[in-house]
Amino acid sequence: MADEEELEKIDPVPEMAHWTLALVNSPGSIEEMRRGPIRGFVYVAEVDTERKRLKILSPVSGRLGDQPLVWGRWPEPYINLLG
């Protein structure tokens, strides 16, 4: 891609609330994450910036561990699933 952007690790920010993030299956290098499979998607219900934690809605219960989440640009605006 001509305007391909690099992936970078960021701390949770309030702007992540009410977005859908992709759960990447390969926690290796950036190139593996970019080209690797996606395990699924999670919805960010709440962001706690002090504790650096996300409260997410997921089809599977439990912790995600160190699995990377990808937050990207989407063509549509976000939709608040909580009302």
* Domain 14-70 superfamily per CATH: Pre-mRNA cleavage complex subunit Clp1, C-terminal domain (2.40.30.330)
Q: Where are the alpha helices (DSSP H) in 18-72?
A: 30-35
Residue 50's contacts (CB-CB under 8 Å, 6 or more residues apart) are none
User: pLDDT tens, 9-45?
Assistant: 888 999 899 888 888 887 677 777 777 788 888 999 9
Confidence of residue 2 (pLDDT cuts 50, 70, 90): very low
* pLDDT score for 14: 93
In this predicted structure, the answer to whether residue 46 has a pLDDT above a threshold of 80 is: yes
CB crowding 64-82: b at 16 or more within 10 Å, else e:
eeeebbebeeeeeeeeeee
* pTM metric for this prediction: 0.71
Q: What residue spans define the domains of the chain?
A: 14-70
